Amino acid sequence: MSERTEEAGHQGLASALMGKGALTSDWLPAYNAVPRHLFIPDMIWPGRAGMNRQDDRVIRGEDPETWWQAVYRDAPITTQWDDGTYSGPGKGKIPTSSNSMPTMVFSMLDALNVQDGHRVLEIGTGTGWNAALLSSRLGAGNVVTIEVDENSARDARTRLESAGYEPLTIVGDGAEGYADGAPYDRVIATASIGRVPREWIAQTKPGGLIVAPWGPTYGGEAVVRLAVADVGTASGPFLGSSAFMRLRDQRTQRKHVREYLRGRAWPADGRRSMTSISPESVGDWPVMFAIGVQVPEAFPWAETYDDGSYTLWLRDTAVTSWATADYVPGREEFEVYQSGPRNLWDEVASAYRWWEEQERPGFERFGLTVGPSGERVWLDSPDHTVPVLGGRGRTS
Ligand SMILES: C[S@@+](CC[C@H](N)C(=O)[O-])C[C@H]1O[C@@H](n2cnc3c(N)ncnc32)[C@H](O)[C@@H]1O
């Protein structure tokens, strides 16, 4: 690609991001100082905007055209699968590192509301682009970035140095923060969480902000902005939908359906009932979020069939309970089986009804409060806590 086309790609993406309101004028100098392509490795799996799907592997030297197109498209780029154990031509099981979607990068930086002289801690160095943007804006001496994966951290450090930035790059578990560099004015996480590590709050100055993608085990996720009020407490609203890879130590271990059936054929000892709530109505990202907050430590999976029908499986992380709800197109009643101490479909149905009664709130109506005794999600105001059903619960 010629320098002119490269420049056109860089400017074209800037216009697209400004048009969406993601790239604000105060971040434009940093965007221009730190071109995205400097932080994209030669081997990538281009993503699609708004979808958790990746194309097959692209190697820069073999297909420069496709590589450059991916770099200057507003979409995430997967850079690692399965903690680095897969690098074949197709795709691995789970994407474990990426250069995030530019709209998301700049929306989160905007939400961070940094001021000159602020000290920032970033969790999830990844390719190093975000750390470079922060370094350009605030000075590398004010930026600490932590990456759990040694190879990713090493490559990011090399790219940062070549681009002229030397923020403190730590290899370690970001859940612990980095106490030696504290206190911070701002903490930004670019890996998602289901629990806010208390260290982040402890290492942030009172009045400081934490911006992080937060989502329940069930699914549904949004960026939350927490204002740190005092030692150990933080609270604030969700800002909008996101879909990040999970912080390594907060990943859910999912046992196979076999382990729930304990050697028996489905429906085993399942209790049969019928429901008028369609499995179709509980599968969108915002409703999954609302359900997940109320139904802790459980997760869905759809077993699909050729005729358009499917079985929605629900399982708990403790491996004590499962449920199935069979979706058949055109039906108004759906067959349900539930087994174990938790009635997982009943919990999901009740959580769905609550969401309907609240007039189907989107992410922006929710907020999160974290205190020494736990965390709770609220709707519209901190005193309106979202109820928590079954499981071990997450409220204080
Ligand atoms: C979406 S990528 C980060 C994108 C990055 N900010 C950039 O600009 O390219 C998420 C990163 O978080 C890292 N990560 C996951 N768990 C972590 C942990 N416990 N501590 C630090 N980093 C972690 C992953 O290895 C991955 O590189």
Probe residue for ligand 1, chosen from 147, 165, 196 as the CB with the greatest number of ligand atoms within 8 Å: 147
Query: Residue 374 has what DSSP assignment?
Result: E
CA-to-CA separations, 326 to 237, 263, 304, in angstroms, rounded? 35, 21, 10
Find out whether the beta carbon of 135 lies less than 6 Å from any atom of ligand 1. no
Using CA positions, which residue lies closest to atom 12 of ligand 1? 124
Distance 315 CA to ligand 1 centre (A): 27
Please give the helix or strand (H or E) that residue 235 lies within, else none.
strand 233-241
Specify the length of the chain in residues. Answer: 396
pLDDT tens digit at each of 396 positions of the chain: 677 678 899 999 999 999 999 999 999 999 999 999 999 999 999 998 766 789 999 999 999 999 999 999 999 999 999 999 998 888 999 999 999 999 999 999 999 999 999 999 999 999 999 999 999 999 999 999 999 999 999 999 999 999 999 999 999 999 999 999 999 999 999 999 999 999 999 999 999 999 999 999 999 999 999 999 987 899 999 999 999 999 998 998 899 999 999 999 999 999 999 999 999 999 999 999 999 999 999 999 999 999 999 999 999 999 999 999 999 999 999 999 999 999 999 999 999 999 999 999 999 999 999 998 899 999 999 999 999 997 544 333
Distance 16 CA to ligand 1 centre (A): 25
Residue 395 has a pLDDT of 35
Q: Both tokens of residue 190?
A: 């670019």
Please give the positions annotated as active site.
Answer: 100
Distance 130 CA to ligand 1 centre (A): 11
Query: What is the spatial distance between Cα 291 and Cα 330, in angstroms, rounded to a whole number?
Result: 24
Q: Both tokens of residue 87?
A: 């690098």
Q: Where in the chain is the domain with CATH 3.40.50.150?
A: 3-241
Distance 125 CA to ligand 1 centre (A): 5
Contact 301, 323 (CB under 8 A): no
Residue 354 has a pLDDT of 98
At the fourth CATH level, the homologous superfamily of domain 3-241 is Vaccinia Virus protein VP39 (3.40.50.150)
Find out whether the beta carbon of 248 lies less than 6 Å from any atom of ligand 1. yes
CA-to-CA separations, 143 to 139, 170, 257, in angstroms, rounded? 7, 11, 44
Amino acid in position 89:
P
Contact 318, 297 (CB under 8 A): yes
- Domain 257-357 - what CATH class? alpha beta
User: What is the reported pTM?
Assistant: 0.96
Q: Where in the chain is the domain with CATH 3.30.160.690?
A: 257-357
Q: Both tokens of residue 46?
A: 């281009």
Residue 380: CB atoms within 10 Å: 12
Closest ligand 1 atom to the C-alpha of 124? 12
Mapping DSSP onto H, E and C, the string for 51-95 reads: EEEECCCEECCCCHHHHHHHHCCCCCEEEEEHHHCECCCCCCCCE
